[in-house]
Structure 1
Amino acid sequence: MRNDPRSHGLWERSAPPAPPTTGLTGDIVADAVVIGAGFTGLSAALHLAEAGASVVVLEGVEIGFGGSGRNVGLVNAGMWVMPDDLPGELGEVYGSRLLHLLGEAPSVVFELVEKHGIPCEIERSGTLHCAVGAKGWSELQERARQWQARGAPVLLLGAEETARKVGTDAYAGSLLDLRAGTIQPLAYARGLAAAAIRAGARIFTSSPVMDAQEDGSGWRVRTGAGSVRAKWVVVATNAYTLQVWPQIRAELVHLPYFNLATKPLSDHLQKTILPERQGVWDTKEILSSFRFDRQGRLVFGSVGALRGPGRSIHPNWGRRALKRLFPQLGDVEFEFEWYGSIGMTGNSLPKFRRLGRNVVSFSGYNGRGIAPGTTFGRTLARLILGEISEADLPLPLTEPEPVRYRAVREAYYEIGAQIAHAAASRF
């Protein structure tokens, strides 16, 4: 996208074409206008349109341009926060409500894929959270205990079983979550858009929002060449929020994350690495993740931006890290390299915001955007349709809290990842 191979990499090359769209021109009217064509916005638009509401989506660039089209494609349940900690963070009612909703969120994704026939390389064999050392193993034991106490289908695997499933003896154990899986994320976003259009939604791309003002009983949302008048506004821009609604950007710390994809591996090598096709991430502070795509490419990622010194540091680290994990690979070359930004919040939980009368938003997915974004989009649609009230939402309404020293923290993450990966590459 935008003639930049490092924005969406492999996913742009292998995804089916996006449905045809144009930029917005002129003034139109709808029941709701959705800002952002990522998982949250497209899910909201789809569910609104299916219920008979008139809905317009305004996307500044292209469908799936933000984190929705760049992430590694792990469809996970829950968030980073330990299950037992959620009631302490949100209170018993919201904590229990959010746990249930996010525990079921991957199934919402998979059901939409099946219902609408979305070709997105779906794999439903679960995900593996892999323990690095004794500390990581202790963390996974506690996480397993808490999820299992709630009846979740998660299995704690020892080092030997983990080695059989992953293809390396680098880990002390793992947590297999059978609710989860992987998808091709940009293909999924484009498929949601196509389904929303079939249901009656209107999607306009290359239409960045310049301004939003109350206009009588609703809102007038303006782009450079047109406007939409609507009673409801859904702000679904998350980490890619620009000048409008700056309070969202102010409370999100951008964490850069990159992905590298090998050329398709031989059938023999594919049988020795992730033979059951789970997606993987580890317990390191600067974590790594990996999974296969449908063509047999190994997609490997970590924290960092592929710009400046990072353009060489991170791929060099990736080659050495893969060789340490899987010596059978030998020296690997990467066919694709790309990166984007994750919106991180202070407590590692998403936020619900009312940004004005009938202006609502969920943001801050902390690297867990696919399943939560999809289910939160559906939740916003239900709110607008009157099927639920604000009191029924999975998160409480709280005031935005700008992050102190946000720019410093973002620079620290980017430079710190470069230093860590440069140092690791020397050993």
Structure 2
Amino acid sequence: MSFNPPVFEDPARDSFETSLWHETAIAVPRYPKLSGRQKAEVVVIGSGYTGLSAAIDLAAQGKDVVVLDAREPGFGASGRNGGQVIPAFKYDPDGIAKVYGEELGEAVLDMVSKTADVVFDLVRRFDIACDPRQTGWIQAAYGSSGIDKVKSRHRQWQQRGAPVELLERDELARQTGTGLYPLGVLFRNGGTVQPLSYARGMAIAAASIGARILAYSLVRAIEPDASGWRVSTADGSVTAARVIIATNGYNTPIWPGLRESVVPLYSMQIASPPLPPELSRQVLPVVEAMADTRRLVWYFRKDRDHRFVIGSRGPFKARPSESDARTLVEAACKLFPALRDTAFPYRWAGRVAMTTDQIPHLHQLAPGVFAALGCNGRGVGMGTMMGKILAAASMGAERQVLPYPVSELHPIPFHAFHRVGVHAMITCYRMLDQFS
């Protein structure tokens, strides 16, 4: 099989510009570009959380791993997300059991519940300087339907032994500083990281145990080869028996139908300067990360220097304007009226890969070629976990022992018109949220 796509998206069109995470992240090493012909046991395409997690597991097993990225580690959504480590799917446990069946559903639930611990264990193992705080994550109820959802979510996870707690209005307000929500569920094993530092630290960890990280090496073709597969860029190629594709929302058309199996959406964030101590004590004083149950979710947190960060769905562009950020400024002031005189000099966006069923997809695209994508806004924990699963799958783990099902690739019909459909959906969701 050979596929040489005629058109590529240029990742260079994205820019960190006014990103808080870029300003405060640990330094990125100067990784070389791919040049000439090289060999490896496994080629990983994409150096976000998923690809780097897979590379770490493979290199730890002594495998010869090459990681290729169009830019540098963490440049995509792994360096642009909210840094919230969420140990839950968008589906509740009962819903997961319905989707996967009782036996596999329990394995998936067990895997999902461990995603946050996997992140923080990895951080401790390699001493990654990413400001890790496993102080919990709260999902707050928005509207009457949100109350029912939060109660049900708490009950279902509690029945399965997860470290969750239901917070009534007064206790929720005490822990978060906002009285906007009537109810919330606290996942005690959740938390936060500096997302770009986490990605860069993962790359440093992978390289320290033998993985070869190659930057500014945009993959242009994946072709069969006598050794298995040849992965080519403009300046060279790597042949390997196995290939892992971990490009998620930053897919280019290197494999037929893969890019068309997800819908990329932009999630936008803004951030304040460090809040004065008195003000900081009023904003997320106990649990420093939360999100709500809106259809167009508000998610917010503080960083290590007490900056307030809030995000939600953004326009279809990588560089949001001051005008684009206005709705998030208004949201911040609605949550915390004390922020009404606070400036928000930082704003940025990143592409999130969404699937039609709102769950990640794991694919075997051909013998020796695997992909995982579609974390649906749960990328810090789920991406890290999916990388481990990809590593196991690429090394020949039987499907029945994997904690996640391998599914067929199904491109979304009329994918070329996804922006029209998504724009209509967002408009509808925004109206429904206003009347919830």
For the aligned pair, the TM-score class normalised by the smaller chain equals over 0.9
Once the two structures are TM-superposed, the CA of residue 404 in structure 1 deviates from its matched residue by 2.6
Match of 2:403? Answer: 394
Change (3 A) 1:7 1:359: farther
Once the two structures are TM-superposed, the CA of residue 421 in structure 1 deviates from its matched residue by 7.2
Match of 1:94? Answer: 104
Give the structure-1-normalised TM-score. Answer: 0.94
CA distance in 2, matches of 1:406, 1:175: 36
Name structure 2 gaps, 5 residues minimum. 1-10
Give the structure-2-normalised TM-score. Answer: 0.92
| SS across alignment from 2:400 | helix
Segment of structure 1 superposing worse, 273-282 or 52-61? 273-282
Mapping for residues 339-358 of structure 1, pairs under 5 Å: 339-358=349-368
Q: 1:213 is aligned with what amino acid?
A: E
Contact 1:108 1:371 in 2 (8 A): yes
Match of 2:135? Answer: 125
1:23 aligns with 2:24: no
Once the two structures are TM-superposed, the CA of residue 230 in structure 1 deviates from its matched residue by 0.6
Match of 2:232? Answer: 222
1:136 aligns with 2:142: no
Contact 1:89 1:95 in 2 (8 A): yes
Segment of structure 1 superposing worse, 185-194 or 416-425? 416-425
Q: 1:404 is aligned with what amino acid?
A: P
Change (3 A) 1:421 1:141: closer
| SS across alignment from 1:112 | helix
Contact 1:140 1:174 in 2 (8 A): yes
Q: 1:38 aligns with which of 35, 39, 48?
A: 48
1:406 aligns with 2:415: yes
Match of 2:267? Answer: 257
Segment of structure 1 superposing worse, 76-85 or 86-95? 86-95
The total of aligned residue pairs comes to 424
Q: 1:108 is aligned with what amino acid?
A: V
CA deviations on 1:202-225 (whole Å, 9 max, x unpaired) are: 010100111111112411111110
1:377 aligns with 2:384: no
Change (3 A) 1:384 1:303: same
Contact 1:19 1:193 in 2 (8 A): no
Once the two structures are TM-superposed, the CA of residue 89 in structure 1 deviates from its matched residue by 1.1
Name structure 1 gaps, 5 residues minimum. none
CA distance in 1, matches of 2:433, 2:229: 52
Q: 1:80 aligns with which of 68, 90, 93?
A: 90
CA distance in 2, matches of 1:219, 1:51: 21
Mapping for residues 1-400 of structure 1, pairs under 5 Å: 2=12, 5-6=15-16, 9-305=19-315, 307=317, 311-386=321-396, 388-400=397-409
Change (3 A) 1:325 1:250: same
Once the two structures are TM-superposed, the CA of residue 323 in structure 1 deviates from its matched residue by 1.5
Q: 1:239 is aligned with what amino acid?
A: G
Match of 2:7? Answer: none
Once the two structures are TM-superposed, the CA of residue 133 in structure 1 deviates from its matched residue by 2.1
Once the two structures are TM-superposed, the CA of residue 423 in structure 1 deviates from its matched residue by 12
CA distance in 2, matches of 1:315, 1:354: 40
CA distance in 2, matches of 1:269, 1:12: 25
CA distance in 2, matches of 1:144, 1:407: 39
Once the two structures are TM-superposed, the CA of residue 422 in structure 1 deviates from its matched residue by 11
Over the aligned positions, Cα root-mean-square deviation in angstroms equals 2.3
Change (3 A) 1:2 1:277: farther
Segment of structure 1 superposing worse, 211-220 or 49-58? 211-220
CA deviations on 1:32-61 (whole Å, 9 max, x unpaired) are: 000000001001111111111100001011
Once the two structures are TM-superposed, the CA of residue 361 in structure 1 deviates from its matched residue by 1.2
Identity %: 38
Once the two structures are TM-superposed, the CA of residue 308 in structure 1 deviates from its matched residue by 10
Q: 2:387 is aligned with what amino acid?
A: G
CA distance in 2, matches of 1:314, 1:282: 21
Segment of structure 1 superposing worse, 402-411 or 104-113? 402-411
| SS across alignment from 1:343 | strand
Q: 1:299 is aligned with what amino acid?
A: V
